[in-house]
Amino acid sequence: MASISLQGIQKRFGETTALADVQLDILDGEFFVLLGPSGAGKTTTLRVIAGLERPDSGQVRMNGEDVTTAAPAQRDCAFVFQQYSLYPHLTVFDNLAFPLRAPMRRIAEGEIRQRVERVAAMLHIESKLQRKATALSGGEMQRVAIGRALVREPRVYLMDEPLSSLDAKLREELRVELKRLQRQSGATVVYVTHDQVEATTMADRIAILEDGHIQQVGTPEEIYREPVSVHVAQRLGSPPINVLPADWFAGQHPAAAVSVGIRPEDVELAGEGEGFECTVIESSLLMHHVIAERHGVEVRARLMQSVAPHPRSPIRLRFPPGQRLLFDRAGQRVSA
């Protein structure tokens, strides 16, 4: 396995800056997630690590060795793409075995069979080995694509939204499977997604990307509880964080704070004469979820009490001072 270090990576495509001074250290054996919207630079980062794109400036290091100019084959990375990219005329067995039969590997057929059967058992596709790839369901094809990477036993696994085209049930199943496999093998995984659920359930650490810039790196808990900006705070959390005008809390916060963030689960029901009176827009008793409005600002609350007020009815909510996050005019975090 390998550690990865990106040092000052810049990458442009014509007038577009895909990556701007990216600094990133990924630990050996870490499940590291790159999270951000489309166009943030996530896939370009993976391709730079793999050697499929050469940076305009900066260095890529693996285990401390400079591999910036090394060919992809010399880096020993396995890439799992969003689309399955299987060979339709080959069986599942031959698709899995394909990377092991490359001339430069020279692996004996007996060992190839052992590796393929072991990985097929891990992914629960051992009964499909003699089927053609075209006879599989979408979920089975994605398992084969993941298995084709696993059989190689490379230094690094690079995964580019491998579950995004699957249905919700299958995504959940494969998230658990991938994390289990990574823990068992101790592999280094760099995983790209725009899905915050995938990021928070699978990652040891997350890097938030936006427009080619790293916004913040940390554990899911660190980023959720201590975001450096409004943008980062809005990346994690469902329902999303409330961003309220600071003038609701006149005199309670520094002058630099122009907005106040608070997570829906930290909002509380208030007694008569406490908190702020809001108007209910909608509510769900089963989800303990209330959406309300005050002065044109939407407020979301996840209340532990069994309360489901009717739409347009009043509700009093309080925002505990210890749970508030303060942001300046530029959206950057400020101290209380």
> Is 320 inside a domain boundary?
yes
pLDDT band at 213 (very low <50, low <70, confident <90, very high): very high
Q: Which residues contact 88 (CB under 8 A, 6 or more apart)?
A: 132, 133, 134
List the one residue out of 298, 260, 259 whose CA is nearest residue 278.
298
pLDDT of residue 320: 96
**Domain co-membership, 223 together with 288:** no
* Residue 310 predicted with pLDDT over 90: no
For the chain, the average pLDDT equals 91
Instruction: Report d(CA 54, CA 71) in Å as an integer.
Output: 10
> Is 234 inside a domain boundary?
no
**Domain co-membership, 154 together with 46:** yes
Query: What's the domain range around 16?
Result: 4-228
Considering only 21-30, 97-106, 250-259, 285-294, which range has the smallest mean pLDDT?
A: 285-294
Domains identified in the chain, total number: 2
pLDDT of residue 305: 66
Sheet holding 213-218, edge to edge: 77-80, 156-160, 188-193, 31-35, 205-210, 213-218
Question: Could you say which of 172, 205, 228 is where a domain stops?
Answer: 228
pLDDT of residue 304: 72
* Residue 146 predicted with pLDDT over 80: yes
**Domain co-membership, 213 together with 86:** yes
Instruction: Report d(CA 88, CA 43) in Å as an integer.
Output: 25
**Domain co-membership, 297 together with 162:** no
pLDDT band at 188 (very low <50, low <70, confident <90, very high): very high
> Is 62 inside a domain boundary?
yes
> Is 233 inside a domain boundary?
no
> Is 258 inside a domain boundary?
yes
Considering only 53-62, 146-155, 289-298, which range has the smallest mean pLDDT?
A: 146-155
Q: Are 237 and 224 in contact (CB under 8 A)?
A: yes
The per-residue pLDDT for range 270-307, each reduced to its tens digit, is: 988 889 999 999 887 665 789 999 999 999 999 876 66
Question: Could you say which of 228, 252, 278 is where a domain stops?
Answer: 228
**Domain co-membership, 164 together with 272:** no
**Domain co-membership, 145 together with 263:** no
Model confidence, pTM:
0.89
The per-residue pLDDT for range 92-109, each reduced to its tens digit, is: 999 999 999 988 778 899
**Domain co-membership, 118 together with 74:** yes
**Domain co-membership, 174 together with 322:** no
Q: Are 72 and 28 in contact (CB under 8 A)?
A: no
> Is 222 inside a domain boundary?
yes
3-state DSSP assignment of residue 214: strand
**Domain co-membership, 124 together with 211:** yes
Question: Could you say which of 169, 196, 228 is where a domain stops?
Answer: 228
Q: How many residues does the chain have?
A: 336
pLDDT band at 21 (very low <50, low <70, confident <90, very high): very high
Instruction: Report d(CA 95, CA 97) in Å as an integer.
Output: 5
pLDDT band at 165 (very low <50, low <70, confident <90, very high): confident
Residue with tokens 């810049």: 10
**Domain co-membership, 160 together with 264:** no
**Domain co-membership, 217 together with 75:** yes
Give the Cα-Cα-Cα angle 218, 220, 225 (nearest 5 degrees).
Answer: 90
pLDDT of residue 170: 78
What integer is the mean pLDDT of 108-114? 93
**Domain co-membership, 265 together with 206:** no
List the one residue out of 9, 18, 105, 117 whose CA is nearest residue 60.
9
pLDDT band at 174 (very low <50, low <70, confident <90, very high): confident
Q: Are 50 and 158 in contact (CB under 8 A)?
A: yes
**CATH code for the domain of 193:** 3.40.50.300
